[in-house]
Amino acid sequence: MIKVGIVGGTGYTGVELLRLLAVHPDVQLTAITSRKEDGLPVADMFPSLRGVVDLAFSSPDKADLTQCDVVFFATPHGVAMAQAPALLAAGVKVIDLAADFRLKDRATFEKWYKIEHTAPELLEEAVYGLPELNREDIKKARLIANPGCYPTTMQLGFYPLLKAGVIDAGSLIADAKSGVSGAGRKAEIGTLFSESSDNFKAYGVHGHRHTPETSAQLQRYTDQQVGLIFTPHLVPMIRGMHATLYARLTKDIDNAALQALFEEEYKDSEFVDVMPFGSHPETRSTRGSNMLRLALHRPEGANTVVILVVQDNLVKGASGQAVQCMNLMFGLEESKGLKQIALLP
């Protein structure tokens, strides 16, 4: 059994990890930390886990995380970088769901996240945890930087086209929407029910921290200079993410060949569903599951290809993807513990 610790188990990604790992056949939940909720049974905070998770939260100073095989950090940015060096030295593998290790360039990280990076020696070693694109590296990793939710949709949507060299990498556009849970469990006016319900708005238009993350990863797959315009939006739903991606074709390629690029690329990826050309994937088709669905369009047969991508931002966009990485790191079937079917209605 894999002994698992979770640092920061009181947020949405934390409880999502608990939901998935509690029924994983090869996992033993060993420690769940929360300084504020020390001693509180997990099921008292999250009634959905009653009878499934019997642990109580423990403060970080009481939890001996070095006894774990792997520790997930479902924490604000900056926490994992402070604790990862000691855990790695003790032989514990680390999966960080925040952004501490997503950007290889320290200066870029500090510019966008406004905090000093205290473990720069680990930046080069950290493996970006997008299994569909980095599967073999993840298998050998001891430190995983779990991707952001928006970047997951953008990378899996643009990747086959960049790899084939059929689009202009300098003029990529991503128009994306996320449910309110993507903002976390903290109390903020903008995510109160009366503020976010019956409302729709863009944010971060001047620049969003997921832009440098996505651009840096996409740059790995093309010799062209990547240019990405990314506009996120908040929609009045709890879970779900929809990205509409636009790319300009630079080569003569028909619709069947475009579709074949995606089907071939993801034929062995259980959690990427390439739908028939012209389909319209819905966020509810992925709710509660680790599935990402996408579909291609080519309006009026012109030179712009539109990729529609949907996922659950808390599962494939965060905790489910982290469990995928754990499975690969420990030599398990990638989909183990992750075959939940989406919830409908």
Q: Give the residue numbers marked as catalytic.
A: 149
Three-state secondary structure of the chain: CEEEEEECCCCHHHHHHHHHHCCCCCEEEEEEECCCCCCCEHHHHCHHHCCCCCCECECCCCCCHHHCCEEEECCCCCHHHHHHHHHHHCCCEEEECCCCCCCCCHHHHHHHHCCCCCCHHHCCCCEECCHHHHHHHHHCCCEEECCCHHHHHHHHHHHHHHHHCCECHHHEEEEEEECHHHHCCCCCHHHCHHHHCCCCEECCCCCCCHHHHHHHHHHCCCCCCCCEEEEEEECCCCCCEEEEEEEEECCCCCHHHHHHHHHHHCCCCCCEEECCCCCCCCHHHCCCCCCEEEEEECHHHCCEEEEEEEECCCHHHHHHHHHHHHHHHCCCCCCCCCCCCCCCC
Q: Are the beta carbons of 233 and 178 closer than 8 angstroms?
A: yes
Nearest to 83 by CA among 102, 65, 110: 65
Alpha carbon 153 to its chain's center: 9
Structure tokens at 339: 């075959």
Amino acid letter, residue 246 = Y
Structure tokens at 7: 């640092």
Neighbours of 115 (CB within 10 A): 13
The rounded distance, in Å, linking the Cα atoms of 145 and 260 is: 30
Pairing of strands 201-202, 228-234: antiparallel
